[in-house]
Amino acid sequence: MKHHLAILACICATTTSLKVLNRTEQAADVHTASAAVTARGGQSQSILHVTHKVNTSAHTKLVWMIGCSIDNRAMRGACSRAGASLNPAGVPEGDQNDFQYCTFDGVTWVFTFHPGASPPPYWEIYKDTLRTSQQRIQDAAQTIQRVFGKGPDAAVVDSSVWDLVTLWIHDGRPTPWPYERQEFLADKWCSSTIPTFLDFVQDLVPHTRIAFRTPFPGVADCYSIGPFLCNADRLVNDMNGCLKNSLANTRLYGKYDLLDVNAVALQEAHGQPVASLYSDGVHPTHALYAVYMSTILKWVDRG
């Protein structure tokens, strides 16, 4: 997804925030699973065939990150800084996979990519058109159960950037894309698409604590990515506002936790322009990834 997805800010993290990536100098041993390739409808699909079960301590917490390349890079960076091997081994950076994990300091982090909560057709960059987000997540949940012998203790769900692209596609790819249409579709995303998606994940792993993370601050960018990001800054504000208005007794839709990483990012930015907070125009700096992972860990520890 490199050079394709945006709407995340990159900021400088404090030394305290970075501690989450250096909590241990000794990484726990992790075991590999082999990836086999099969075909569905003439397209290659990466389906994991587990060779053996990973022996995890009863005290090891299993945290499942369900999202895009932003979440993938955040997890990979944490694993790298902790010296923990990423499995399956040898996966190129930025490659989107159903199942990647590492273990350090009593936490096993698992990542699963999905192309958004909105229904297909998805963006053309996603070539695996025969598998929906729900199918990918369902397959990954089954793999997690086989590999670790249990479901996740906690799951952090992201669905925002890919949804913006999909909404634009569903709206006929208008150029320019009127902000009024974006605003209307974003409200539907918040009031219908996301709660339905979170209910799906919760039904899949009923004993797992689930949090939805807010989109990071957006940057208006009509040219480098696409017209669906022309009003990204305003649209992300609307999305975040709707999510916060959907809180009932501090719970999103009365059921789920909300990780407000948008507010965390703006606080860490210390008033700097959002446009200056990107590392490559697409992804955050390593420092913001550290803040993001620290935010997740604090939430997990509170449970």
Residue 49 pLDDT = 40
pLDDT at 27 over 50: no
Residue 253 in any domain: the answer is: yes
pLDDT in tens, 247-303: 999 999 999 999 998 888 877 777 776 666 666 656 777 878 888 999 999 999 997
User: Which residue in the block uniquely carries the two structure tokens 């997540």?
Assistant: 137
Residue 258 pLDDT = 97
pLDDT in tens, 158-196: 998 899 889 999 999 998 888 888 888 889 999 999 999
Residue 7 in any domain: the answer is: no
Number of domains in the chain: 1
Residue 8 in any domain: the answer is: no
Residue 9 in any domain: the answer is: no
Average pLDDT over residues 105-124: 93
CATH number where 279 lies = 3.40.50.1110
Range of the domain at 151: 15-302
Residue 280 in any domain: the answer is: yes
Residues 6+ apart with CB under 8 A from 265: 9, 11, 216, 217, 277, 288, 291
Most confident of 148-157, 229-238, 268-277: 148-157
User: Taking the model in full, what pTM does it have?
Assistant: 0.80
3-state SS of 83-103 is CCCCECCCCCCCCCCCCEEEE
Q: Which residues pair with 249 in a beta bridge?
A: none
